[in-house]
Copies of this chain bind each other. A is one copy, B any other.
Amino acid sequence: MAAHDATVTASDTDSGPLAVICGGGALPYAVADAVAAGGRRVVLFAVRGWADPAQVARFPHRWIALGQLGRFTRLAREEGCRELVCIGSLARPAIAQLRFDLTTLRLLPRLVRAFRGGDDHLLSAVGTILEGQGFRLMGAQEVAPQILVPAGAIGRIRPGDRDRADIARGLAILAAIGPFDVGQAVVVADQHCVAVEGIEGTDAMLARIADLRSGGRIRAAAGIGVLVKAPKPGQDRRFDLPSIGPQTVDGVVRAGLAGIAVAAGSSIAAESERLIALADRAGVFVAGVAGDGTFD
């Protein structure tokens, strides 16, 4: 044990503090807490307009704006960071939120080309650029594997046969749209796909289902239907893994669904204790599933 601990410490010292580029939502702090709990120093690089100032203040941090690659690399070097993770929502910023510095302006043609290819291409391009600057870009799941949803039900409720059939269909639809860089989530109710996530995001999609249900537009009875989330096939897993949090459970409950299924081992649960407590209380399941829909 002592030898093992020593190894970990040496490795942490080698790689310095972890830079966490923080977008919106609760995930960045779940990752930062997990890493800090493991004994490694974290420095948050909080993206103005996206990161939550109250949460950011809990950690050593520097503020950056989207588009300030030069400023980020300078500050990260000052902090002694060589490894970084980029986590939280940065989906489709308004042009007005961008603050290009000189480094970014020089790289802009390359970024614009990547932009047109969709999320995956853009994020991978940014990753490649940062690696060219001497940083090592890691997935949140590498630095904080405990935030990944494991296989099986993570709460008290388990999906039934109908739910499993809906999950299998949802995964099949996500696999079919995967090559097109559409969303990572669908809602399937009694084998009928009622929504496909576009750029509106999961919470807005669930709110739509709730509206459609209150308008009598969903055939399946309340308590039927599953939110299914999975990464795109071939997606760069250092970015934008499908994630859920307590607000996802709230959305699923309001939408009258039976539960949530996410790809086991490649989806993230933020605030998982609160998430599980909420799900158990509401009687909805939350489960990690294999890509072929098998469950445990």
Identify the A interface with B (CB < 8 A): 91-97, 115-118, 169, 172-173, 176-177, 179-183, 187, 190-200, 208, 212, 215-219
Contacts and interface: CB of A to CB of B under 8 A. Distances in A.
Contacts of A172: 180
Contacts of A215: 94
A182 B191 contact: no
B200 A198 contact: no
B180 A169 contact: yes
A168 to B, nearest CB: 12
Question: Top 7 closest A-B pairs, CB basis?
Answer: A94-B216, A196-B196, A195-B198, A182-B193, A176-B176, A92-B217, A194-B199
Chain B CB count within 10 A is highest, among A92, A169, A180, A217, for A180
A196 B177 contact: yes
11 contacts: A92-B216, A92-B217, A94-B215, A94-B216, A177-B177, A180-B193, A181-B193, A194-B198, A194-B199, A195-B200, A199-B218
A97 B216 CA distance: 10
A191 B116 contact: yes
A199 B190 contact: no
Nearest to A182: B193
A172 B197 CA distance: 17
A74 B200 CA distance: 47
Nearest to A195: B198
A176 B169 contact: no
A63 B94 CA distance: 50
B199 A182 contact: no
B208 A200 contact: yes
A192 B195 CA distance: 18
A222 B160 CA distance: 46
Contacts of A219: 92, 115
Nearest to A180: B173
Nearest to A172: B180
A173 B200 CA distance: 18
Contacts of A195: 198-200
Nearest to A97: B216
A180 B187 CA distance: 12
Contacts of A169: 180
A208 to B, nearest CB: 6
